[in-house]
Amino acid sequence: MNQIVIPSDAEYKALGEYLAHSNMRRILVVCGKSCDRLRIGQNLDDLTARIGSEFVRFSDFAPNPDYSSVVKGIDVFRTEGCDSILAIGGGSAMDTAKCIKLYATMPPGSDYIHEKIVPNAIPFVAVPTTAGTGSEATRYAVVYYNGEKQSVTDYSCIPSAVLFDPTVLDSLPEYHRKSTMMDAFCHAVESSWSVNSTDESREYSRTAIRLILENRESYLNNEPSGNRRMLEAANIAGKAINITQTTAGHAMCYKLTGLYKIAHGHAAALCVAALWPYMLSHRDDCADVRGVDHLSGVFADLAECMGAQTPEAAAAKFKSIVDGLGLGIPSVRGDAEYVLLKKSVNPVRLKNNPVRLDGDAIDTLYHQILGE
Ligand SMILES: [Fe+2]
């Protein structure tokens, strides 16, 4: 994975140079409809005037993009004679752009999602507009096919360059600002204890956690330096989960977002806040082949990153950060919801968790998460 970070400047000079240098002449811009309100959206015509590259916009996709949107995007890419892709947006724009990139060289009319992915060299640049998913740093994309969530994975969908522009966060609503930060925070924490962690991934996790803790106040206050650093932190946390994937916190959070219509990062934060102390007191159920001593070392390392004296204090600090954001706890409307929640947890994701969690443990955790 070779990522080039293009520093932001008012005229997007560095971006223009990168596009020209990469021979990106007719660029499919995969972006949300609000892209024109962003500084970068307003500068695309300027870029055309300066470097000659042309931009073809594609915004015909919804949140949680479905396969038919990707097919439309591929059609636009082909009929407009595009040679490269620029994704501007959050998770949905990134997912759509990644799938277009992976499928664009498959035979036209194929059932792309079932075709074998052959890496291609279509230049692909990403401009993340939230500091959360880190999707611009991962090999994963999600697309809905016949209503079913499908994970599409290939290293060649990782963008070759990422532009960090802190102004994209200027108008981010407060709830979204908080929840996306917590998504990145959970990525870094979960990656650090994942059974798939490596020296490299743990270094990414440490860096991301420190950046988040050091910059969260200025980011929450919408200061340019905080915004810039949080974009970087989310990207680095994305690099960590690109290696390890997420763990039980994410496995448990998806149904919370669906049932209670809360943001993904909000749900993940509630889950990790309950999961962390639970794991500390159940580490004898260690599922990491490196053993319980390794796991204890990971928890000690996390404590140091969190600036806490003990692993327990680190978990408590995380929870106090979540509580301090005032994101709220959903209200359960009957026991049947606990049954739904318990059933929803993907066992494959749980396998990444370093402490074994059976059905009873999941049930206990959901009761803690939801305040009962
Ligand atoms: Fe996430």
Domain co-membership, 138 together with 31? yes
In one letter, which amino acid is 104? A
Domain co-membership, 35 together with 155? yes
Q: Which segments of the chain have a pLDDT < 70?
A: 1-3, 8, 372
Domain co-membership, 177 together with 97? no
Identify the CATH number of the domain in which residue 189 sits: 1.20.1090.10
- State residue 93 phi and psi, 5-degree precision: -65, -40
CA of 231 to the centre of ligand 1 (A): 14
Domain co-membership, 80 together with 205? no
CA of 181 to the centre of ligand 1 (A): 10
Domain co-membership, 216 together with 319? yes
Q: For residue 285, what are the domain limits?
A: 173-369
CA of 339 to the centre of ligand 1 (A): 23
Identify the CATH number of the domain in which residue 106 sits: 3.40.50.1970
CA of 2 to the centre of ligand 1 (A): 22
In the chain, the number of structural domains is 2
pTM for the full predicted model: 0.94
Q: Among 132, 152, 168, which residue terminates a domain?
A: 168
Domain co-membership, 15 together with 133? yes
Give the gyration radius of the chain's Cα atoms: 21
Convert the pLDDT of each residue in 74-123 to its tens digit.
999 999 999 999 999 999 999 999 999 999 999 998 899 999 999 999 99
Q: In this structure, are residues 68 and 33 in contact, taking their beta carbons and an 8 Å threshold?
A: no
CA of 185 to the centre of ligand 1 (A): 9
SS3 152: strand
What's the confidence (pLDDT) of residue 176? Answer: 95
DSSP string, 90-149: SHHHHHHHHHHHHHTTSPTT--GGGSPP------EEEEESSSS--GGG-SEEEEEETTEE
Domain co-membership, 226 together with 348? yes
Domain co-membership, 101 together with 215? no
With CA atoms as reference, report the closest residue to 238 among 131, 101, 345, 102.
131
CA–CA separation, 89 vs 32, rounded Å?
Answer: 6
Q: Among 134, 168, 202, which residue terminates a domain?
A: 168
Domain co-membership, 187 together with 266? yes
DSSP string, 222-266: T-HHHHHHHHHHHHHHHHHHHHH---HHHHHHHHHHHHH---HHH
CA of 110 to the centre of ligand 1 (A): 31
CA of 264 to the centre of ligand 1 (A): 7
Domain co-membership, 32 together with 145? yes
CA of 250 to the centre of ligand 1 (A): 7
